Structure 1
Amino acid sequence: MKRLTGKDVARAAGVSASAVSRAFTAENRLNKATRDHILKVAAEMGYRPNALARSLIKQESDLVAVVVGNTDGIYDKDFFNHLSTALQKRGKWALQIRSEDQENLAETLGKALMYPVAAAIVRAGTVDPQAIENSKQMNVPLIYTGLGPVIKGADCVWLNYKSGGLLGTRHLVRRGCKKIAYIGGIKGFTADTGRRDGYLEALQEAGLQPHSISQTKFDFESGMQIALNLLQSDNPPDAFYCVSDAAALGALNAAKSLLNLRVPEDVAIVGSDNMPMASWPCFDLTAATNPIDEIVQNLMETLEARLANLDQQEMSVVVEPQLVIRGSA
């Protein structure tokens, strides 16, 4: 069926198409009786204004592109839910565009910019200069989250990943752990680089050498397999600092469920993110925080400030993690 248009409503209501358009704007010059009549006819017909068409006419948009990578992780799903809710509370709508891998980010963002969006929020592990250039050419503000501290041509709200690595590893050192392994993420991603740097600095402070450094996809399965291999080796670690809660829960499962080790007595485990399930009694995971509410709030404030002044210098907002100590370490 053909979608109803403002002209259809105009014919049914006996008014002009421009009167119908004005009836659906916050500021209109119609008298109350005419507006009420138009809205009543429109409701009876099931008519809704075409938001995309209106945004093209007005050169304004309530759409914000949210460009993300793989969102299969629990943290990323929670993050998008919080972000889309925060946007809606401010009269904005999230247009989620998913990029399967980092290499396709510029292409994915280019597709998002085909829509009349007010801005784009990109959750990525590395910077893509071409993506920034695309947004500049389209005059669409670009806000990164997951990077930092300063990105030329874009705003950034970022977590101090290195601080999280320092907090988690220092805690393990204070517990008396000597053979601390690092279970990392995808090499080159800011989260992995920063947390690994913090891990290495904390060990250097304590006069310790890294037990081992491994890479994962920030996921449960590879975290579990790496921990299982290390714990069954001739030189098992006495602690893990993990790049994500998912990897830490994998290590926890390997230690407790597969090898019947005592946590934290035989091996201590610290994660990163502090997802809600980290506090579940069955996990009781010590973790450095990656606070979604605080990051999303800063994203909203950065977005509003950018839209209010498109010409101001790049903004960079840092969020500092905290360490939540539970039973795993």
Structure 2
Amino acid sequence: MAHIKAANGRMPNSKEVAALANVSQATVSRVFSGQTNIREKTRKRVLEAAETLGYRPNAMARGLTLNRSNLIAIVTIDVVNPHYNAMVNKVADRIQYMGREPLFFVSSKEKNLDEILSQVLQYRVDAIIVLSAAISSQMAAECEKIQIPVVVFNKYTVNKNIMTVCSDNVQAGWLAANYLYEKGHRSFAFIGSDTFLGTSKDRLRGFTDCLNENGIEDCIVRMVPYTYEDGRKAMEAILKDAGKPEAVFCAGDMLAFGAMDFCKNVYDLKIPADIAIMGFDNIDAASWDPYFLTTFEQQIDKMLDTTFDYLDKKLNGEPASEGVQLFECKIIERSSV
């Protein structure tokens, strides 16, 4: 069926559909909102008129009318990270699986998270998922006041008004140090990310706690942006300024790859014979031959189950408790340690 262009080439509206179908504008609205108390003959006439005009209902406007938008905001940070990107995609897939649509907002250094969330609230979203970033108590209280559920995913934060779903990064750091210590290593370095500073600090705290428990007070620490190149630079600084540690724990696999390549290509060090390197996230490349990296795997799917079970209950008016849910990370053993 050929489409009839609206005047001036603009998008047709429901009033024009109603006129062509010879029904009221309210009837058009009822057809597109899925109501069943409409005669089939009338419904067919409205749909044919809409097809003729090329009309598409305005989901945002309909959401305002119904006091729900079927949109769930995903607030992300501006970073290039294979693990993080895969996690964002999984969150979006889960939102669509529950019959809603994701609406993306990116937080950058130029705009703090509260500024972004103020913009988010203007879209009347049904819920908000904040990835790997903290939310202020003031903004959490504002969301609670207007009854928009918030989940902070993959970032440890304590706030009575929101749900936090996160890996136990302190425990993971402790497990990393214990694993390396039991392998016989006695001098250590830590390469963390100032892109994910809070998470890196949690992993470092667990790491140094375990070292201290075993009588080791010194640990070389470098915090750098989360990139392969910065992993190389951090490893270079460690080897030049502090000498060669026996083992290095990196707070992300990309940092570990950079550190490994620098050790092998510049200092001709053998891994793990000369230096052991351990990563975090278990991205696909960690299992590739150039690296075969010993690393940590997070329980992302279980974390998502908890997140969306909570949101499903909140959005359907069922009781759901806020709080902090921590998930243990698993060591994936390969040949870099």
In the alignment of these two chains, the number of paired residues is: 329
Change over 3 Å in CA distance of 1:133–1:310 after alignment to 2: farther
SS in 2 for 1:116: coil
Aligned with residue 270 of structure 2, among 255, 262, 266: 262
How far apart, CA to CA, are the structure 2 residues paired with 1:95 and 1:217?
A: 27
- Corresponding position: 1:119 with 2:127: yes
How far apart, CA to CA, are the structure 2 residues paired with 1:156 and 1:234?
A: 38
Aligned with residue 169 of structure 1, among 164, 173, 177: 177
Change over 3 Å in CA distance of 1:257–1:310 after alignment to 2: farther
Aligned with residue 36 of structure 1, among 24, 34, 44: 44
> 2:104 corresponds to which residue?
96
Q: Give percent identity, aligned residues only.
A: 28
Change over 3 Å in CA distance of 1:65–1:124 after alignment to 2: same
> 2:92 corresponds to which residue?
84
Residue deviations 1:9-60, cap 9 Å, x none? 1112122111111112233211222212322332233221110000000001
> 2:75 corresponds to which residue?
67
Matching residue's letter, 2:225: K
Change over 3 Å in CA distance of 1:198–1:102 after alignment to 2: farther
> 1:203 corresponds to which residue?
211
Change over 3 Å in CA distance of 1:54–1:16 after alignment to 2: same
How far apart, CA to CA, are the structure 2 residues paired with 1:192 and 1:214?
A: 11
How far apart, CA to CA, are the structure 2 residues paired with 1:292 and 1:137?
A: 30
**Which structure 2 residues correspond to residues 1-329 of structure 1 after superposition, within 5 A?**
1-101=9-109, 104-148=112-156, 150-186=158-194, 189-233=197-241, 235-309=243-317, 312-329=320-337
Q: Displacement of 1:317 after TM fit? A: 2.1
C-alpha contact 2:31 2:43 (8 A) present in aligned 1: yes
Matching residue's letter, 2:287: S
Matching residue's letter, 1:152: K
C-alpha contact 1:106 1:134 (8 A) present in aligned 2: no
Structure 2 gaps of 5+ residues are 1-8
Matching residue's letter, 2:181: V
Tell me whether 208-217 or 175-184 shows the greater mean CA deviation: 208-217
Q: Displacement of 1:137 after TM fit? A: 4.2
Superposition CA RMSD, Å: 2.1
How far apart, CA to CA, are the structure 2 residues paired with 1:245 and 1:234?
A: 22
C-alpha contact 1:69 1:98 (8 A) present in aligned 2: yes
Matching residue's letter, 1:6: S
How far apart, CA to CA, are the structure 1 residues paired with 2:286 and 2:259?
A: 13
SS in 2 for 1:237: coil
Change over 3 Å in CA distance of 1:102–1:205 after alignment to 2: farther
SS in 1 for 2:271: coil
Q: TM-score, normalised by structure 1?
A: 0.92
How far apart, CA to CA, are the structure 2 residues paired with 1:275 and 1:252?
A: 15
> 2:3 corresponds to which residue?
none
C-alpha contact 1:126 1:189 (8 A) present in aligned 2: no
Change over 3 Å in CA distance of 1:321–1:144 after alignment to 2: same
Q: Displacement of 1:119 after TM fit? A: 1.0
Residue deviations 1:45-96, cap 9 Å, x none? 3221110000000001211111122232222211111111110111111111
Residue deviations 1:104-156, cap 9 Å, x none? 11111101111110011112443422322332344322111133364221111
Q: TM-score, normalised by structure 2?
A: 0.90
C-alpha contact 2:313 2:320 (8 A) present in aligned 1: no
Change over 3 Å in CA distance of 1:115–1:217 after alignment to 2: same
SS in 2 for 1:164: helix
C-alpha contact 1:150 1:314 (8 A) present in aligned 2: no
SS in 2 for 1:229: helix
Residue deviations 1:245-294, cap 9 Å, x none? 12111111211233221111111111111112212222211111123333
How far apart, CA to CA, are the structure 2 residues paired with 1:238 and 1:203?
A: 13
Tell me whether 223-232 or 108-117 shows the greater mean CA deviation: 223-232
How far apart, CA to CA, are the structure 1 residues paired with 2:157 and 2:136?
A: 15
Matching residue's letter, 1:131: M
How far apart, CA to CA, are the structure 2 residues paired with 1:60 and 1:204?
A: 52
Matching residue's letter, 2:276: A
